[in-house]
A and B are shown apart, each in its own frame.
Chain A
Amino acid sequence: MEKGKFKENFAKFHDKNYKLLLIIPLSILVFGFVYMGIFYSQNHDFIYKDISLTGGTSVTINDGTINPTDLKNAIAGKLEDVNIREISDLVSQKQIAVIVETKSDEQQTRTVLENYLGYKLDGKNSSFEFTGSTLSQNFYKQLLIALLIAFFLMSVVVFLQFKNFIPSIAVIFSAFADIFMTLIVVNLLGMKVSSAGIVAFLMLIGYSIDTDILLTTRTLKRKVGTLNRRILESFKTGITMTLTSLFAVLAALLIVGSFSSILSQIFTIMVIGLSFDILNTWLTNVSIIKWYISKKKK
């Protein structure tokens, strides 16, 4: 009985206020646009880029005895933009390697590190990844183009599927809001985005629209039950979908996160994006579609 009453009250509240609820995502978006405007004018870019997008060298040294702080102090003046992290064994928590990232080229990095370590770095005790700056800038440009084309193609598919302007726009807008809000958080956290990170944004397109498609199909194309009921049923399904993904990604992040910066970044961006997907599907998209269907009925 209690539960039924809560449902009823909530439906009443929602019927009255769903348009107002749109203020939440809209204010985040407005804040986001202002923030990104300032961000862009300061950094002349949309993100902080890591060396895979600016060019530079990443070295993994398989040595558990290196003290990262000492290493950083010793080489910071000799290499450009040095960044050091350590990798630890999952079980014993013992350090097994350190990763040095710098904008300097491979040869210089190798020389400076070998001088500090006192031994030669070869294919067994270390990994080197070098990307030239022209190539990485080119990578960045192309990944942005790929992201734009992907978004455009997704929009076309959504339009073809619903053949209905406002509901389609609602889906596309929610997907955009997911990506944009995630971008803001990523920048607020000061994350340096790698090429894999941009792929994660691309993955968000796919992950964010499935719940939106579910909602739109069930509310727009089906006639059984009240609108609120159909929304509630979609919510039950959709939230399970998003939560399973969210928990699965979180678990993966905790396990492999410290090991691979590539996967760790992909998973972090997905966790942020999936969380915003809950907001944007069940607030933004729901309100728009409810508004649209209510208006059509009149």
Chain B
Amino acid sequence: MKFKLTWKIWLWIIILILSLISIFVTPTFLQKGVLVTNVQQNSSAFEQGLRQGQVIQAIDGKIVTSTEDFSKIIQEKFNSNQTVKTTIATIDAEYVMYSNEIDITVSELPKTNLKLGLDLSGGARALVQAKDHKLSSSEVNDLVDVVSNRLNVYGISDMTIRPVSDLSGNNFMLIEIAGATPADLESLVSQQGKFEAKIGNDTVFVGGKKDITSVARGGQESGVYDCQSAQDGYFCNFRFTVYLSQSAAERHANLTGALSVNSTSQGNFLSKKLDLYLDDNLVDSLLISENLKGRVTTQIQISGGGSGATRDDAIKAAQENMNKLQTILITGSLPFKLEIVKLDTISPTLGANFTRYILYAGVVALLLVAVIILIRYKGLKSSIAPLIICTSEIIITLGVAAVIKWDLDLPSIAGILAAIGTGVDDQIVVLDEAKHKEESLSIKQRIKRAFGIIMGAYIASVVSLLPLWWAGAGLLRGFVFTTVIGITIGVLITRRAFADIVKMVEE
């Protein structure tokens, strides 16, 4: 046997190497440190220029190689509430800040470019439709804009929101959030968030850009204050300042100008209150002080509260309510009443185990295949070759997934398995045809004949998978994607290379 690398084998090897590169050469390849996954906006780290995606290598000169290192250093540094100096070193810069806490989250550096789907890595997924209204595709696009903005303002960064549709022409908005699920995802996503400030029956201003120029979110103008013990626990108040547009401020002046002044023991206030409504529910009524009567003021204080079993819970609840209200005031209301038709929140705990089991299953299945082929064809070479080819098909499929950043969810993994199954079948066809020596055909012709069968089965498989792409709001796309990629790579590249190898062995 003469071993000559044909161009098909070369192509296979090159694509295999490219796939390995695309899987394993991450942007942080060979670096040591921790990856910044989120930097709280307006925090001192953010102001100094530290951003998501950077790699922290050292803090105050101490080398950081793992998230444990990171949390240990941070805990030691910020155990008291004092403002201290922190130096954070990344690969190409140093950030110096003075603060009493560090508002960043980090993770280990990714070892591969593969992205696991929510069902394996943990996270939340919501499929959203309008209540009593069939959304058109442009309406969904508008919705996606408003909701992305809302989640961004709220502080959720690692998410994708996109419109999806299904075979019956229904349009949905699909929201996927990696990692921990925010507690109020449901209300953030589905709450219409129609905010109105009214005096009597007249609207003074509503949430959104038209009436509100900005909302204070930190410093002296925004925060939780004044916690008291209440009947069953604690109650805390929050307040923050909003800045109205000129037209809203004039409206305010006109409406307050018409009110009379009441004297109370706490001071002089106007006869009507400023009522705050969220989705038509009264959330708070604010007394308007006498000196605002008829004045064009662009600065308004909004307040509210939150309760909890302990003082800390109450503070947290008040903060969350404030954040939500600020979010709604900034981003305005959604154009529709929404309904979450599917909501999955997946804990990451089982995913890691599960990924390992899938690997075991794959290895065992491949070895079994090799054993069966060994028994049937009684040649070690013929049984090892399919092992190598199948493994390379998995690697190339994963390589493609890494390049286009496909989320590998459970359906995708089932798809990889399906593709491998057809791969083994095709190789058996090739092996078998190659060994039919009694016929007068040359090996080249026999292999060509094998591919006649293979391509027939291939085309039939691909067309039978396609309808699934559009069914079920695209949630099963992973299966179609990996199967089609896997078998296409198979019939065009890897199984061709296999045929060339078999040809050489037989000659």
What residues make up the interface of A, taking CB atoms closer than 8 Å to B? Answer: 60, 62, 87, 89-90, 96-97, 106, 123-132, 134-135, 138-139, 141-143, 145-147, 149-151, 153-154, 156-158, 161, 195-196, 199, 202-203, 205-207, 209-210, 213-214, 217-218, 224, 233, 236-237, 240-241, 243-245, 247-249, 251-252, 255-256, 259-260, 262-263, 266
Contact B460 A128 (CB under 8 A): no
Are B468 and A213 closer than 8 Å at their CB atoms?
no
**25 residue pairs A–B, Cβ–Cβ below 8 Å:** A60-B347, A60-B350, A96-B353, A97-B350, A127-B344, A127-B350, A128-B343, A131-B341, A138-B170, A141-B168, A142-B472, A150-B464, A153-B466, A153-B467, A199-B411, A213-B460, A214-B453, A217-B453, A224-B439, A240-B428, A240-B432, A247-B365, A248-B368, A252-B365, A262-B414
- Quick one: closest A residue to B375, CB to CB? A240
Stretch at the interface among B70-78, B86-94, B419-427: B419-427
Residues from chain A with Cβ under 8 Å of B376 in the complex = 240
Given contacts A145-B471, A156-B463, A247-B368, 6 further A-B contacts (CB under 8 A): A123-B345, A132-B339, A146-B467, A161-B459, A252-B365, A263-B358
Number of A-B contacts (CB under 8 A): 222
Q: Does B332 contact A (CB under 8 A)?
A: no
- Among the listed A135, A240, A241, which residue makes an inter-chain contact with B341, where contact means beta carbons less than 8 Å apart? A135
A126 touches B361 (CB 8 A): no
In contact, A240 and B373 (Cβ under 8 angstroms): yes
Report the minimal beta-carbon distance from B164 to chain A, rounded to whole angstroms: 12
B interface secondary structure, majority: helix
Check A124/B349 contact, CB under 8 A, given A139-B472, A259-B354: yes
B180 within 8 A of partner (CB): yes
The 8 A CB mask of B425-466 against A (1 = contact, 0 = none) is 100110010001001100000000000110011011101111
Q: Give B residues with C-beta under 8 Å from A.
A: 122, 124, 127, 129, 166-168, 170, 180-181, 339-350, 353-354, 357-358, 360-362, 364-366, 368-369, 372-373, 376, 410-411, 413-414, 417-418, 420-422, 424-425, 428-429, 432, 436, 439-440, 452-453, 456-457, 459-461, 463-468, 470-473, 475-476, 479
For residue B499, give the distance in angstroms from its CB to the closest CB of chain A: 15
State whether A248 touches B366 (Cβ < 8 A): yes
Return chain A residues, CB-CB under 8 Å to B357.
90, 255-256, 259
- Minimum Cβ distance to chain B for residue A286 (Å): 16
Scoring B350, B354, B440, B452 by chain A CB atoms within 10 A of each residue's CB, the highest score goes to B350
Known: A153-B464, A244-B373, A260-B354. A142 touches B411 (CB 8 A): no
Asked, given contacts A150-B464, A255-B357, whether A124 binds B170 with beta carbons under 8 Å apart, the answer is no
